[in-house]
Amino acid sequence: MEWWIGYFVIAACGVAHSQTDGDSSQQIGRALRNFNKAQVLYQVYGRGFACRLEQLGPPKNGEKPSAHAAGLISPELASGFFTGYQIRLSCTPNDYQVVAVPVSGGVGTVWCVDKTMVLRTAESADLCISQGEVPSQPKRKVPDQFSKTAPDVAQETQARGYWLDPSDGLMWAAKDSEKRMGWHKAVSFCHKLRSQGYSDWRLPSIAELMSLVNMQAYATEYVGSSDILHWKGDLHVSGGLLLNGDRHWSSTQLSASRYSAFDYREGKTMAGFEDWAEGDTMYALCVRTVPQNQTPKVP
């Protein structure tokens, strides 16, 4: 599995480290929300939820992230001890539970979370998931913005037929395929695309698809006493690219017939499949790498 997973998530999600500000309960709440994000992205490996802390922790000896050590949480969290709490992770095929228990001599109640992403507190670890209470938290005043560019960029992008990302030099087609298709057809669609005088368009990697949005915009938001994963219905990705649907194929292959895709509505990666008889259909958004000595052509 490519290196981008651990690097991108740690950078985008702000994996928790020991903080000097705020009390331990605030810190452990942030840490458990990081577990939620890590578990969502761990599923890109196609093995369900992680059942051991080391599966989410950083790789050793400079190795690349993998299903054995995905690099999705900090070394401190992966150690099982964080800001006065012992972290316990367990899972079933369709669920996971993270319980944070105060260590001997520590203060505070037990915290926990499962795949519902609702944080709870209780007096004991046994009761936390089933009978725990949702702690009250203030609602975020202004949600993070998904797009990294201003809304008025969209008009210019559609007029030109492309958007050039200044952060990495990638040129994106102004709109996607407009129709859903299987993975192989998506690869062919971009390969055959002739736009703006260029013929080297390709299907982007999963990391490149994720780079079009601010991943922190999908972070947990409090609404009243409920802890939910929020999303924005009128999603506009960076550059004002025109997307006709939420789910887009990437070129990242997971197995012989499974391929990684990104869901812009929910802000998470997913696995799509295709074989000779059937398969998933999604949209294709094409990209090309601009050589350093090449100036993009303007219509």
From residue 195, how far is each of 81, 274, 287 by CA, in Å? 53, 27, 11
Q: Residue 277 has what DSSP assignment?
A: S
How confident is the model at residue 200, as a pLDDT? 95
Within a domain: 60: yes
Strand partners, 97: 90, 114
CA atoms of 29 and 31, how far apart (whole Å): 5
Q: What is the pLDDT of residues 91-106, one digit of tens each?
A: 987 899 999 999 875 5
Q: Count up the domains in the chain and report the number.
A: 2
Q: Last residue of a domain, which of 71, 101, 131? A: 131
Spatial contact of 80 and 15, defined as CB atoms under 8 Å apart: no
DSSP H helices, 196-290, are 206-210
pLDDT at 69 over 60: yes
Whole-number average pLDDT of the chain: 81
Residue 199 and residue 75 share a domain? no
* pLDDT, tens digit (0-9, with 9 covering 90-100), for 138-190: 555 555 567 888 888 889 999 999 999 988 889 999 999 999 999 999 999 99
Mean pLDDT across 266-288: 88
DSSP string, 14-52: T-----SSS-HHHHHHHHHHHHHHHHHHHGGGSS-S--S
Q: Which amino acid is at 243?
A: L
Query: Residue 22: which residues within 8 A CB-CB, separation 6 or more?
Result: none
Q: Which residues constitute the domain of residue 181?
A: 153-289
Residues 27 and 122 in one domain: yes
Give the pLDDT confidence score for residue 18 in this predicted structure: 34
- Min mean pLDDT across 106-110, 153-157, 236-240 is at 106-110
